A = this chain, B = another copy of it.
Amino acid sequence: MKATINKKGHFSAAHRLYNNHWDYQKNIEIFGKCAYLNYHGHNYEYITSITGEIDIETGFVFSLQKLKNILHEEIEELFDHKNINLDIKEFYSINPTMENIVIFMWNKINQRISSYLDLKITLYETKNNFVEYDGKS
């Protein structure tokens, strides 16, 4: 039988939205206050959802302790108390919208788990705005 286990995590980071091919005026028009020069920031929260068979011996789809370690190594060390535009090289040229961040996180975590498992990541930028990505299309 298959079930989906979910674990919430969080990190605090700075970012700004910006398309380097546009001038400042165009960026403000499209991204509003999110394009301000000196960065702003968020308490990001994210949910890692893993779907797979329940192991008979442990009763687990995936050990939450192992998952905690993976998330610490792949996500929190990279993102927590960082500036996403300046500190993570993949975002030097990619705009750190929540859509682009969630795909980056999905790729980081997906390479650490078995291909028999389905992965979905949900990323909250604020309590009211969030994004989901499951690598399926």
Minimum CB–CB distance for A27 against chain B, Å: 10
Minimum CB–CB distance for A42 against chain B, Å: 5
Is A34 part of the binding interface, using a Cβ–Cβ cutoff of 8 Å?
yes
Is A38 part of the binding interface, using a Cβ–Cβ cutoff of 8 Å?
yes
The residue in A30, A64, A95 that gathers the most chain B C-beta atoms within 10 A of its C-beta is A64
B30 near A12 (CB under 8 angstroms)?
A: no
Is A129 part of the binding interface, using a Cβ–Cβ cutoff of 8 Å?
yes
Decide if the interface of chain A is mainly helix, strand, loop or mixed: mixed
Contact A103 B6, CB 8 Å, known A33-B80, A38-B82: no
Is A57 part of the binding interface, using a Cβ–Cβ cutoff of 8 Å?
yes
B81 near A133 (CB under 8 angstroms)?
A: no
Is A90 part of the binding interface, using a Cβ–Cβ cutoff of 8 Å?
no
B17, B40, B82: the one within 8 Å of A13 (CB) = B40
